[in-house]
Every structure is written in C-alpha cells, then in structure tokens.
Structure 1
Amino acid sequence: MVQESIAGHQQDLAARLLAEAGMTLLARNWRCGRAGEIDIVARDGDVVVVCEVKTRRAGLFEHPMAAVTPTKADRLRRLAECWLDRHGGSPPGGVRIDLVGVVLPRRGAPLVEHARGVA
C-alpha cells in the first residue's frame, strides 16, 4: 500500500510537470488488457504523448532515464497503438513517447526530469 502511495505521488509530480509544459492530460493509468498500462496519456498540440513515469532513489539504482529498454519501448509502442485504436486513430501530429524520471534524494524535494521522444 505504501509503495502504491509513493508511485501515485510521483505520477502526480509528473502530471503537474506535463501540464505546466502546456500539455493536456487525457488519461492516467490507462490499461489495454494484457498489453499493460500507460502511466500518462497527454496531448501536446496535435501530438498524442504516451508518457512512462519512472522513479528511483538517489544513488541506489540506475538513473530512471535509463529505464526505457528496447523491450519497454516496444511495449509502449504497442500500448500507443491500442490507445489510438480505441480513441479515434492517429492525430495529425502523430504519437510521441516521453519519459518522466523522478529521483528521490535522501533529503529535499524530488528531482523531476522530462525527456521527449525517448522511443
């Protein structure tokens, strides 16, 4: 339960960052059957953005930006296709896959980074 609460808080930080960047949030934790889940779906102008949110504690593991492996990128592409199929097809600007990385330091506020077009 505590882990879910932490993950939810990190997604709140990511959603706020994307909204402050001018994006419109369309969905959070959107599931497509057994294919998996998209953490955040947003619109950036005429582009649909599928956003993965990854959180790491500072110093213990690899940086969250290293989390999108080729396997993960393929899964995110399949999920993006599923989203488009269920929501009217591809928008004029296409689809972009972004990553929001959250690093939790031992002290102080989390560091939140947004990388566009990671896959």
Structure 2
Amino acid sequence: MSQTPGKHPETRRKAPAAQADPGGGPSGAEGLARRALGRYGEDLAVRRLSETGIGILDRNWRCREGEIDIVASDGDAVVVCEVKTRRAGSFEHPMAAVRAGKAERLRRLAECWLERHGGPPPGGVRIDLVGVVVPARGAPRVEHVKGVA
C-alpha cells in the first residue's frame, strides 16, 4: 500500500533544527556539553566557597544587563563571583578569561543586584573569580581569587 506524501504528517516529520543558545554560544550537542561543563564548574565553585565559610545568596541571577554566576556573602560583604571552567589543555586558562570589559560588566551587574536586594551592605561589594580546570583524568583544580575587579 503506497502512501501519498502529506497524508500522514507523523511519518514526514523532520528532526528539529538546533536552536541557538540564548547566551549567544554554540548550539546543539557542543552547546549542551559546554553548558554542562559550566554547570559542573559552578557546582564545584559553590562547594569551595561554602567550605571556606562564604554563604551562597543567589545562583545564575539574571537581569537585562546579563548574568551573575554566584552572589554570596562573606561576613558583611556581598561577593559577586564569576566562575570560569575549562578542560585541561584548553587554549586559555580560566583566570585569563576576565578582562577589563567583563570586570566592568560584573560591576554593573553587582549594582543591579544591590538595587533589587536592599542596597549596598556595610562591608561593601567584592568581585571574585573562581577558575576550574577539569583534567581528562583525576580531580578538577579549583582556584578562588578574591577581589579581582
């Protein structure tokens, strides 16, 4: 029995096209792998910060200006924390990824967060960076640098 094209749309469906990452990154399997790596790095960063007594206030906070990976409290200071995760052997070390433009954007994001959460704290605001390097084998290396910007 032959089928006329279009009579049974369920047999004529195309695979959905890969959708672009809303953040402008790669789409498809590569984009999923990068997001999973980034999420893994953020989870490790939260664990490291918590182990040092830093309290986590917010994760992946977004506004029109962009996203803050982690907002935390260290004593009476608010900490805006950027997390950069790379596989070992990548072109650039994660700590080299925060340049002047990114630092300025983090300062603007910190201002937005503070406006929506009661203003500046008595201890001020600090911008930290957590770099995570994930080797092919063995434990990841997590490095926390305070006051990068």
- TM-score, normalization by structure 1: 0.95
Worse-matched range after superposition: 15-24 or 56-65? 56-65
Aligned residues: 118
How far apart, in 1, do the equivalents of 2:73 and 2:144 lie? 15
How far apart, in 1, do the equivalents of 2:87 and 2:33 lie? 15
1:26 corresponds to: 57
1:58-96, Cα deviation, whole Å (9 max, x unpaired): 222221111110000000000000000000000000000
Q: Which has the higher strand share?
A: 1
1:3 Cα shift?
A: 2.5
1:109 corresponds to: 139
Correspondence for 2:102 among 51, 67, 72: 72
1:7 Cα shift?
A: 1.5
Cα 1:3–1:62 shift into 2, 3 Å: closer
One-letter identity of the residue aligned with 2:130: V
CA RMSD in angstroms comes to: 0.9
1:52 corresponds to: 82
| Ranges in structure 1 where 5+ consecutive residues have no aligned partner | none
Correspondence for 2:40 among 1, 4, 9: 9
One-letter identity of the residue aligned with 2:116: R
- TM-score, normalization by structure 2: 0.77
1:5 Cα shift?
A: 2.1
Of the two structures, which has the highest relative contact order with CA contacts closer than 8 Å and spacing of 6 or more? 1
Name the SS for the 2:36 alignment partner: helix
| Ranges in structure 2 where 5+ consecutive residues have no aligned partner | 1-31
How far apart, in 1, do the equivalents of 2:40 and 2:92 lie? 20
If you compute each CA radius of gyration, which structure gives the higher value, 1 or 2?
2
